[in-house]
Structures are given as structure tokens and as C-alpha cells.
Amino acid sequence: MAVTNDFSWSKSRDEIFRDCLRRYFFHYYGAWGGWAPGAPERTRQLYILKNLQTRAMWVGDRVHRAIHATLTSLRGGGETPTADAVAEQLLADMRKDFRDSLARRYRQSPRKACGLFEHEYELDISDAQWKETADHAVQCLRTFFGSEIFAELRQLPPTAWLEMEELASFALDGIKVFVQLDCAHRTTDGIRIIDWKTGRAENSSADLQLACYALYAAEKWQLVPERVQTVEFKLAGGKVLPRVFTAEALEETKDFIRDSADEMSFLLEDPARNKPQPEEDFEFAEQQTACHHCNFLKVCPRWT
């Protein structure tokens, strides 16, 4: 069965859409099919670039993977690894990622080999900065292992576990909305969804993300909103921010998704087939951002 580029909505898609329309075109349309062996060169390049990670994204990805592997073992009844063992494996994985990226192996296998933005553009990153990146990843991991949340997860019975890092979706007025919960489990009162963050800065879009998770959970497990608790766990500082969304707040989230999807559809030549208008109709952002698609292709006036 042929893979089709169907329209969907997600928080990350909305963020890219609002950041730069041309970047949005490159990410969701220009790069489509770039994984195929016979893809046009420009399409292939865009696909490679959309899979690049910054150092911050890399830390988040690796820490999430390490926690997921730990919880998968725990959920399956296996022996829970120690923080030292998981940290050692995390660093080994990051060293391999670094070597692969430095050798540009991602250009042959964009989804299988790590590609770092800093290597692609030969940025001047000192050894001390690279070490700080690795140290930050380990510290986030150790914060998780030393947390009350991890202690609580270790006590969960097998029947309490629901989802971990599974790409899922729900439908809203015919719009497919994608979500991916870091961890969801049953509680005595309902369901708790935990989302780990490795970034140091405040994330103003976290509420939207968690509200989408609550919408998904309430629909999938047939619960009233008050029985779905979301938790933002900031691993960089150990801060835990629980929240329960009201039915009114979730209705506002639905309205936001509808409006965002409508805005995206204005730039479609054929909405039924998710066919975009010509590339030039997707304007560049006015403010300069680190848009590596445009930088590489030498098309953005902000880079020329």
C-alpha cells in the first residue's frame, strides 16, 4: 500500500506553522518522499535536514529513550536497572551518536544515524560545551531516578500501565490529531499522564500539549476531564507541575485546534488531497530564526 501524505494536526506542526510558513512547507511537503532511494536531490536534502537535531533536542531524545527503556523493563516485570547503569548506557549511546554525526552518516541513513545541526553547519562548539551537553543529559536522568514519581511508578501493578511513547491519535471534527504520551497509568481516581521535559527554559506551550493529552485520554478511556491529571516533570530542575484541565479549558483547546487547522488549510490548493499551494505562497518569517532548511538551500532572504 502506497504511503500518502494525509493532513493531520499536532502541537509541533502548529509551532512550525507559526514560526515560518516556508519552513512549514519544507518540513511537511517539500521533504515528503525524501526517504525513497530515487527521490529528487532537493527533496532528499530537505528530508535529511528535517531530521537534524540541535544539541538540546538530542538531549531530550536520548533521555526520553533511556527512561522509556527503564520503564519498559519495569512494566514487563524485569529487574529495574540502576541509575549508574542507565547513565553509562546513555553516555555510550551519545558517544556513538556523536561519531555518526561527525562522520555525516545521517546523509546515507537520515532516520537510522544521528545528525546534529552543529555538525552539519560546522558550528564552533568547544569540547567543554559538548561535555556540558552530556552532563546535562546525565543529570536529567539522575533527577528522574531520584524522584518521587519514579518511586511511585516502581510500585504500579501490571494492570495500571496504559501507554508509553506510543504514537497515537484522536479525531476532532474529522481532523486527525496526533499525540505521544511519555507515560500514562491508572490511579485510584482516574488516570495520570506524565510528560518529562529536559529543557531549562520555561515552555509556554506545555499547557497546550498537556491539554491535548487530556483530550485524548478522556476520549480513549471514557473519563470526565476531572479524572485526568497531567504532570509536567521538569528534569533540569526537578520541578513537578500537576494540573487537571476543566471541561471548559478542553473546549477552548478544541477551538484552538480547529482554528489552527483552518489556517493551515488556507494554504492548500486541494484540501481533500492535502495538496499545497505553490512553494512561493508560503512566506518567510519576518524575524530571523535558525531555519536550517532555508539556510542550506540558500532561498531565505534572512540568510543571503
Residues 6+ away with beta carbon under 8 Å from 12: none
On whether the CB atoms of residues 193 and 229 are closer than 8 A, the answer is yes
**pLDDT at residue 285, rounded to an integer:** 87
**pLDDT at residue 296, rounded to an integer:** 52
Q: What is the DSSP code string of 58-106?
A: HHHHHHHHHHHHHHHHHHTT-PPPPHHHHHHHHHHHHHHHHHHHHTTGG
248: nearest Cα among 282, 225, 277 = 225
Taking phi over 0 as left and psi of -120 to 50 as alpha, with beta for the rest, 284 belongs to beta
pLDDT in tens, the chain (304 residues): 778 999 999 999 999 999 999 999 999 999 999 999 999 999 999 999 999 999 999 999 999 999 999 999 999 988 889 999 999 999 999 999 999 999 999 999 998 999 999 999 999 999 999 999 999 999 999 999 999 999 999 999 999 999 999 999 999 999 999 999 999 999 999 999 999 999 987 766 789 999 999 999 999 999 999 999 999 999 999 999 999 999 999 999 999 999 999 999 999 999 999 999 999 999 998 765 545 556 555 555 444 3
**pLDDT at residue 302, rounded to an integer:** 45
Q: At residue 290, what are phi and psi to the nearest 5 degrees?
A: -80, 65
56: nearest Cα among 228, 192, 200 = 200
On whether the CB atoms of residues 23 and 16 are closer than 8 A, the answer is yes
> What is d(CA 79, CA 81) in angstroms, rounded to the nearest whole number?
6
Predicted TM-score (pTM) of the model is 0.93
> Cα–Cα distances in Å, from 3 out to 6, 33, 35?
9, 9, 12
Which one is the CATH code of 159-245: 1.10.10.10, 3.90.320.10, 3.90.1150.10, 3.20.20.70? 3.90.320.10
- Domain ranges, ordered by start, for the chain: 35-153, 159-245
> Taking the CA atoms of the chain, what radius of gyration do you get in angstroms?
20
Residues 6+ away with beta carbon under 8 Å from 248: none
